[in-house]
Structure 1
Amino acid sequence: MSSITEKTKNQKQVLTLNKLSKRKVVEHNDLITSIAKMDKTPLKMFELAISCIDTENPPKDNTVFLSKRELFAFFKVSDNDKHSRFKQSIRAMQKEAYFEIKENKGKGFDFESIIPIPYVKWNDYNDEVTIRFDQAIMPYLINLKKNFTQHALSDISELNSKYSIILYRWLSMNYNQYEHYANKGGRRQNQLSEYCNPEIKVAELRTMTDTINEYKETYHFFRYVIENSLKEISKHTHFNVTYEKIKKGRSIDSIQFHIAKKEQPQELNGEYKEREQDPAYLQGKANKEVNQQALFAEAMQSKYTMELITSTLLSPVEMTDITLMSNLQQEVYPLYKQLEEIIGLKGVRKHLEYVSNKKLDYSKPNLVKYLKTAVMRYLESGDTKQPEEDKTRYIKTKGKVAPVGSRTPDWFVPDYKNETTLEEQQELDRIKIELSDSMKK
């Protein structure tokens, strides 16, 4: 009998989790960039409560209704002590949790301190929990026409750190803008790149994560606030995220994140589609594959591919990666062409030599982003004039100027230590022969 009861409970939990996976959280960007003076549990409970709001039909009396079953499933609580833990979480949220919101009013900033959920009601004889939002928080949750962000509630449920949640919300805010303008237009390519590769001052991030007086050692801040959070986000959410440090003088001034969205079998609202039977999806997939093959063919014939191999930035084995090569052709090679028009092919080679000599670790999926970041920053530095013979040339970086030949600037990121082995050289020769034969045909 007990096994049947346990099976029924598990089935109900699965149904509840499926229901939660369809929920989305919508909130104003000012709320996302505010200071969350609370621990992870109140913050997650607040996000769960927001997911109950229908933005098209604001809740009457600012009140929403949540089930205990949803609450316990969301927090993955199944022990006998769950009711007392629930009471403790409510108590902490009402007595200690609040947002410090800074809103730009043109003439200056308005500052607000808001306890988001001052009233919660529940009993021990039914499943309903009543949650009433503070009136002051509602403008950040309803009637949002612009400057708002939407993300999946299921992503938040898997994050176990306050910093992971705060950083995830901020990354979502930026990536949402990238997706919006990529589909609707209205932004230049470099602006789109800034949305999916957002930059933030370390001081600003410390303020947002409420760590001005915590983790004062830079090493500890990056380890516990940044790196641990990104590991959680990349493991449990829709995003894969990496980052790099941007120095000003000897200190780290800013952080640039690189956001890539994972392929998802479901839409944001959690509704699964039989995509394999959807003609529109199949046609789009076929078009994408054809386009990728065309880009790959162009990359195989591009002189920049050979330049990357010669400078050990690309190995012959990597050259056979269709996705990698098509992305290089689409995102990086046009920038190399632009650079070549300014400083010639020898100048491009010199740039690649600098990038190759920079001794930092990198992972293969980030190769395109690293190369693109390096060449974009070089182009934007304004120092792309053809260097004169026997003259020291200087490259401008953020906050400093580095002489070429003395030390490679910090923005020339990865370390590409790949030496071309005999096997790789043989593979390269084979590819060259095949490519030559295909061109003759």
Structure 2
Amino acid sequence: LNELEKRKVVEHNALIQSVAKMQKTALKMFELAVSCIDTENLPENNTVYLSKKELFSFFEVSSSSKHSQFKEAIEIMQKQAYFKIKSNKKLGIEYESIVPIPYVKWNDYNDEVTIQFSEHIMPYLINLKSEFTQYKISELQKLNSKYSIILYRWLSMNYNQYEHYSNKGGRRAEQVESYRNPSISVKELRTITDTVNEYKEIYDFEKRVLKNAIEEINAHTSFNVSYEKIKKGRSIDSIVFHIEKKRKADDNSYKLEDQAYIEDKKAKEETEKDLYTEAMQSPYTKLLSENMLLFPNDFMDIKTMAGLQKNVYPLYDELKELKGLNGVKDHLSYVSSKQETYSKRNITKYLKKAIEQYLPTVKRQDL
């Protein structure tokens, strides 16, 4: 199952909030197929290949008699399973019904199952720039009810946004918190779990749909979830979920590819480039070079120059305010004369320490 451990499902949020008109097996099969899409190298003809071995291990099917049941399940999925996707268009709300997997080829003589996605579902699975959710396919493996899967996807959608905005900023604190404690009306929850006409009594709905799903999610995924019922008048109007992430010892594994992390890294690199450009134009860079405190190799190093611009040059500005540019020059020629004591490896750290020790004395003299 190591192969499965690495694979992710990436879906547009509209698909996660859609109504899955299908049974548990079909929904799980769809999710497994989605995890085979490599978003870097898009599948030709919208086709992915699954191995039966992987299929059976994912569904924990062992005996050969079950294989035929399985084939039936796949056929049912093809003919009957569809998503009802709601989108807000300019003219109002629009619904699409999409049979996600119209073609499956399965044979008895080899291990391969060919799955072709509908062209209509593809926009919800590829080229997603924003408003998408991702999670590991292995998270769904042990979920045994359709409601657990639907709810897990919805909770992931919210928690992904919580992680994204916690790392990236751009939302007020209480808004970020609300992604970790998302609220949904009972009406909407009935819609996405496709139980509008079932379990009419809220007591029944809670027991069959909510409680069981939350128990499964807590037992088998990386979430710990609790919920509270919010009343309006005498009836229960909405549910607020509280999502915590279980921390595993090796929980660094997925963090690296996390969208928020990637974007964060990009932003840092952009900032670094800007700082580097500023540093190369700064008069302080010229002074450091004249005092043999910077060398050609340093100029080539984005990190070093960005570090100076961010952490050292503002302190030189302070000194300049107090003593003029000549004061900075004097400081640097003094540092230069002492410089054999520092390790050439981290010039930024060395210069920062020197100016930090020197500034207070200048300020005292100034008083």
TM-score when scaled to structure 1? 0.57
- Where does residue 395 of structure 1 map in the other structure? none
**Superposition map of 1:17-416 within 5 A:** 17-267=1-251
Q: 1:23·1:270 contact (CA, 8 Å) conserved in 2?
A: no
* Contact 1:175–1:195 under 8 Å retained in 2: yes
RMSD (CA atoms): 1.5
Q: Could you give the per-residue CA deviations for residues 312-364 of structure 1, whole angstroms, max 9, x where no partner exists?
A: xxxxxxxxxxxxxxxxxxxxxxxxxxxxxxxxxxxxxxxxxxxxxxxxxxxxx
Structure 1 223/229 Cα, relative in aligned 2: closer, same or farther at 3 Å? same
1:203 and 1:213 mapped to 2: Cα distance?
11
Quote how far apart the aligned CAs of 1:96 are: 1.6
Shift of 1:269: 6.3
Q: Matches of 1:160 and 1:122 in 2, distance apart?
A: 24
Q: Give the Å deviation of 1:193.
A: 1.0
Report Cα offsets for 1:161-216 as digits up to 9, x if no partner.
00000000000000000000001111111001100000000001001111011000
Unaligned runs of 5+ in 1: 1-16, 273-441
Contact map agreement 1:164 1:232 (CA 8 A) in 2: yes
SS of equivalent residue, structure 2 residue 171: coil
Structure 1 position 56, deviation (Å):
1.8
Q: Give the whole-Å Cα distance in 1 for the aligned partners of 2:47 and 2:95.
A: 25
Which of the two has greater helix per residue? 2
Amino acid at match of 1:210: D
User: Which ranges in structure 2 are unaligned for 5 or more consecutive residues?
Assistant: 257-367
Q: Distance in 2 between matches of 1:32 and 1:46?
A: 12
Inter-CA distance 213–144: structure 2 relative to 1 (3 Å threshold): same
Structure 1 residue 80, shift from structure 2 partner: 2.1
Q: Which region of structure 1 is more displaced relative to structure 2, 96-105 or 131-140?
A: 96-105
Q: Contact 1:242/1:257 (CA < 8 Å) preserved in 2? A: yes
Residue 22 of structure 1 and its aligned partner are, at CA, apart by 1.0
Following the alignment from structure 2 to structure 1, what is the Cα–Cα distance between the partners of residues 211 and 90?
Answer: 35
Shift of 1:271: 10
Report the TM-score when normalising by structure 2. Answer: 0.68
Which 10-residue stretch deviates more, 104-113 or 187-196? 104-113
Report the identity percentage. Answer: 68
Letter in 2 for 1:235: A
**1:71 shift after superposition:** 0.3
The question of whether the paired residues in 2 share the 8 Å contact of 1:245 and 1:256 is answered with: yes
| 4+ residue segments displaced more than 3 Å | 265-272
Distance 2:235 2:194 in 1: 20
Q: Deviations over 1:96-134 (max 9, x none)?
A: 210000011133112100100010012111111100000
Distance 2:251 2:225 in 1: 20
Number of aligned positions between the proteins: 256
Q: What is the alpha-carbon distance in structure 2 between the residues aligned to residue 271 and residue 262 of structure 1?
A: 14
Query: Hey, what's the Cα distance between the residues in 1 that align with 2:224 and 2:91?
Result: 38
Aligned mates of 1:81, 1:209 — CA distance in 2: 31
Deviation at 1:82, TM superposition (A): 2.8
Task: Give the CA deviation at 1:33.
Answer: 0.3
